[in-house]
Structure 1
């Protein structure tokens, strides 16, 4: 090679930019640094000295009234959600004192390039299922394929950005991701349950069953009595008990759950010591129901535990698949008939705040007029949005008045219905020009919610709307929601601290027609879809906040629901037999309980007085 050629060759070599190295880490955060380094010993909110033993008994999680299946991943049946909480490990676990951080459990490390076109997890060779079989990359592949093809629509939507999942070797699994996956999506993958492929050879994934599931988590199914009781006890050979993410965690020998279809009966059982921890969802019970002897003697205490997460998206959702409810004026009239102020003062003892936003209790909630980055984002869709998005403050529902029937609101609602072509006949019923009656079906399975909804339904009936509020069995309500066989549905969705791909399941067009999906309203709107993708693909938390505010503003303007109420904290009653960390993590109360422990001395003191046995 000549000197000139060698010089040119050298110049070309050194001119090529160095390839960016992949990140390999013990943890993952969508936006920003990790709080805990690779050598951390335990989470700050864990007590590494917490004793092991005892039983945590409580009523069913999430208010689920019944169960007839232990398969928690499909649309069929009413599954016991506690199975998913205690029996399955995931690749990584959340740190509940960070908004979006995950640390290795089944996976020792995570690897990904800067563009997040793929993500790989390197598994711990020691990971085992409860039957002693190793957890391998092929189990992860099976899990994702099964959830994506046969799982609940929530999982199908969530995993739509996985273009390929493959086992590169026994302990390494790689996901190829679509361009819309977003920075938070690796965390979604990391938190999926790890399912054993060999178990499903004998137990069809897409069927309900009551046999004990096989997992790799800290607890085994000890006893099940559908639809009343489910109990989990510690796996003495749990493979991951000493990992940093589990230090100070899983302290109880057993978790037991008692199911109550009637919450009044449930409170009576708690008062009698039939279970020892209760999250109270009813403000009336909290205000007046805790005057039983165990409280008076100091055996039971009430606590208010702050919640740093977004409030649930709780409301009465409109099914826009019904042509009657596609008219915004009708939906506005229905909203005016719900008197929140009277409901809160009279039924809730003034404890709640009105829910305005789909991201309530966060900085992602839209307010006032759009400005800055939010305005710039909305301007991209200006020709597809109504003018009031830009000229009016973010929509806030009318709160009502202290009177049970707000006359001003009812007059406004009546005028809107008249304007929409639904006029009152001589029999007091509203009909359109074709003589069709304005009828709505409102099925519900909660007797505790009945006292709240009946005054609302009475207001609708006073407006001339033929409204049927029907209390039905939980299994029937589940089936009707899955088939979108309702007009109004009182439902609450959990909102993530870092919203991401799950937004598609709640508000995305693809979910609108999927039976059993979380998109109860049937919303299918291109601007909403585009704003969801901006949130999912946000490159920073500031970008996420901007996209979420724009999405919130657009959703609220559409009047998809009648926003209900929120507290911003948890009302918790306990028999005083537990130890609780001094500084609980702010971002997930339900999982904080994993870090409590049984206090034998407290139990013995109450038992000596005849309080517990």
Structure 2
């Protein structure tokens, strides 16, 4: 499961039939404080006081100032319209909270207890009576039902695929909600439902959920929006009487009284603002900056701290994505040929200071990454699909090209040229033409200035065999619009993974998501074999089965050459001013920014009231990973 978030909402009907069914099932199940994927014991017992990765005595107060990128024009993160403000999810509570030091365990938040059917055919949530929205209105089962139904009907397409296996949602009484499933094969579904953000039915009753606007929404979470300047800044304030502040799942979290995000047009400008003290915390995405841009007195004196925190997550896949909706990319030989022309070794040496590792799997940095030839267990999964999968998948190890780092890749260019010839392309007057005799020109849509220097060597390698790569940089709003409408040839994109991948894989790879505007099937992938492998992964009944299915899916995606794999690093690179503190133990699967605090005896590099006057923040492109 990735960080996809969803909300459940629907009118609650007190039906006798479902209630009796639930009573019959409950005789075989018992409400728990936490649920896990394979019914293994959770790390934390029912009487736990706090998570290990927090400081339960962290001081409260102060402000965390951050930089935003890409601007925003909406405070509704649940629909496909507009660009939502950073951190808007902090105003909403979910039914349960995922532990950040376990692969996939959820502990009750709005729901104090969770009951799972022994056969995985339903899940029931018992709401805490004290849960309330930030206007004092109690959170009740009808809010949960409303949230689910609203997201399914009017939310982003990802919700319909994410919750596709939910058959019915029933408010059994004001504090109990039952989710019934279409089948019992989806072991992840109870935990996915636990991620549901709960929306206030009474607040939305007089509003249009489909509108992406800047009206400050009502939530039940630890923060509320207090100030908005469209595209420029957003301010949050900690809810002083937050109903859940004393729960074990919240102890040591949400220590800042205020959160402030100013938006910048360019990451270079933002980095200079950080070094000048205009904001407090920065995740560095650029290897060159990490190696060269911090040689300043504040760093040498220890006032501005550089720190790398281990990242225990699978790295997923970042890459140059081919849009298969474009005829030029529908032949796998074309995609393979273009993949040969990215010289990672030269790029890593010359541009990244040798800090990155080539990504070789869609589940890299995990036990789910495929390697070597398929195992016997994987073959059992793959054999029924043999006639629908690339033949080399069964006989050859998938390998990405490796160069000597000199920048000369003639062998790869020759192989690429031959593959293109086999696909019916040819050279006419020093230009590569396709099967219809049209000169080949590829538009690479981009919103990040940092990536231009990475793409220029790739552009030269393409030009050497007669292919034009047009690097088209646009502002972030245009980029998002074009991405949602699939108006691109190639883009940089990533497919994040967790230690327990599941339903989100449908959103990435399944044919059902390919034609949905705004879905995350950026490739436009429609492959029956991949659909079957995705379903098998989601329905895996053990950890080992999940691993085997993930590896099988990984092989199908790699041999399809749907992206040109990029690179990754196994740490988070952080720069922050020394008035911030954080726990000695960081969560394994997250940076854990909300576990940090402001030291009571420290002051920001620049007083908060004067920091915004240092430099006028500008609307910016979204921050991506140069890696």
Q: What range is the shorter-chain TM-score in?
A: over 0.9
Q: Distance in 2 between matches of 1:434 and 1:550?
A: 36
Q: CA deviation at 1:405?
A: 4.1
Match of 2:528 among 502, 526, 529: 526
Q: CA deviation at 1:156?
A: 1.6
Task: Provide, for residues 79-118 of structure 1, a one-character-per-residue CA deviation record: whole Å limited to 9, x for no partner.
Answer: 124101x111000001111110000110011112111111
2:7 maps to none
1:502 maps to 504
SS of equivalent residue, structure 2 residue 603? helix
1:11 maps to none
| Correspondence list, 1:249-260, <5 A | 249-260=253-264
| Correspondence list, 1:119-130, <5 A | 119-130=123-134
1:550 maps to 552
Q: CA deviation at 1:23?
A: 3.3
2:362 pairs with 1:355: no
- Give the number of the structure whose alpha-carbon radius of gyration is greater: 1
Moved over 4 A (4+): 604-607, 610-613
1:165 maps to 169
2:294 maps to 290
> Larger RCO: Structure 1 or Structure 2 (Cα < 8 Å, ≥ 6 residues apart)?
2
SS of equivalent residue, structure 2 residue 52? coil
Task: Provide, for residues 396-445 of structure 1, a one-character-per-residue CA deviation record: whole Å limited to 9, x for no partner.
Answer: 2213331234222112112211221111111x221135322222221111
2:79 maps to 74
The answer to whether the 8 Å contact 1:580/1:595 transfers is yes
Q: CA deviation at 1:387?
A: 2.3
| Correspondence list, 1:96-175, <5 A | 96-175=100-179
Classify 1:551/1:290 alpha carbon distance in 2 versus 1 (closer, same or farther; 3 Å): same
The normalised TM-score by structure 2 is 0.91
Q: Distance in 1 between matches of 2:600 and 2:402?
A: 48
Q: CA deviation at 1:42?
A: 0.8
1:29 maps to 36
Q: Distance in 1 between matches of 2:114 and 2:73?
A: 37
Classify 1:236/1:181 alpha carbon distance in 2 versus 1 (closer, same or farther; 3 Å): farther
1:513 maps to 515
The normalised TM-score by structure 1 is 0.93
Classify 1:611/1:293 alpha carbon distance in 2 versus 1 (closer, same or farther; 3 Å): farther
2:56 pairs with 1:48: yes
Match of 1:404 among 402, 407, 415: 407
Q: Which moved more, 1:372-381 or 1:362-371?
A: 372-381
| Correspondence list, 1:296-335, <5 A | 296-335=300-339
Q: CA deviation at 1:49?
A: 1.0
| Correspondence list, 1:79-98, <5 A | 79-84=84-89, 86-98=90-102
| Correspondence list, 1:164-563, <5 A | 164-179=168-183, 182-393=186-397, 395-426=398-429, 428-563=430-565
Q: Distance in 2 between matches of 1:263 and 1:290?
A: 14
Q: Distance in 1 between matches of 2:514 and 2:605?
A: 55
Q: Distance in 1 between matches of 2:455 and 2:102?
A: 37
Match of 1:576 among 550, 575, 578: 578
How many residue pairs get aligned? The number is 587
1:6 maps to none
The answer to whether the 8 Å contact 2:26/2:117 transfers is no
Q: CA deviation at 1:467?
A: 2.3
Task: Provide, for residues 172-219 of structure 1, a one-character-per-residue CA deviation record: whole Å limited to 9, x for no partner.
Answer: 111111226611111111012111112222331111110111110000
Q: Distance in 1 between matches of 2:156 and 2:403?
A: 38
Q: CA deviation at 1:549?
A: 0.6
1:12 maps to none
Classify 1:505/1:606 alpha carbon distance in 2 versus 1 (closer, same or farther; 3 Å): closer
| Correspondence list, 1:2-41, <5 A | 21-31=28-38, 32-41=40-49
Classify 1:538/1:434 alpha carbon distance in 2 versus 1 (closer, same or farther; 3 Å): closer
Q: CA deviation at 1:20?
A: 6.4
Q: CA deviation at 1:372?
A: 2.7
The answer to whether the 8 Å contact 2:459/2:468 transfers is no
